[in-house]
Amino acid sequence: MSSNTVGILMIVGSLGLFLLTVAITIVVPRKGPRQRKHSVQRTAAGDFFGTASGDRLEVDWFQFGEVPKQELVTIASEYHWQFKSDQITDSGWILRFTKVP
């Protein structure tokens, strides 16, 4: 085998390994910073609704911005809070809940 053939085989092998690495990176999802932040905020939302008192509650949705609104409403319902209304203001997006028995 000549040195040119060995060189070409090494380049082709390296290119194949590179393409395989790229394909795996694209196909296999990673738990990135946004997903970790979502998990932390989801847990914080559960703690917030679990410890809230009174029969009415207002929440600035931007406080839990990585958690979709419907998911936040679902979390609240697990702690007997029912979504009533929302209002967009200059400083945030207010979600209003009432306590249900």
The residue extents of the domains of the chain are 1-30, 33-99
Using pLDDT thresholds of 50, 70 and 90, give the confidence band for residue 66: confident
In this predicted structure, what is the pLDDT of residue 32?
66
**Pick the residue with more confidence: 31 or 14?**
14
Using pLDDT thresholds of 50, 70 and 90, give the confidence band for residue 36: confident
* Res 76 pLDDT > 70: yes
In this predicted structure, what is the pLDDT of residue 10?
87
Q: Are strands 81-88 and 93-99 parallel, antiparallel or unpaired?
A: antiparallel
**pTM of the complete model:** 0.64
Determine contact, residues 84/97, Cβ cutoff 8 Å: yes
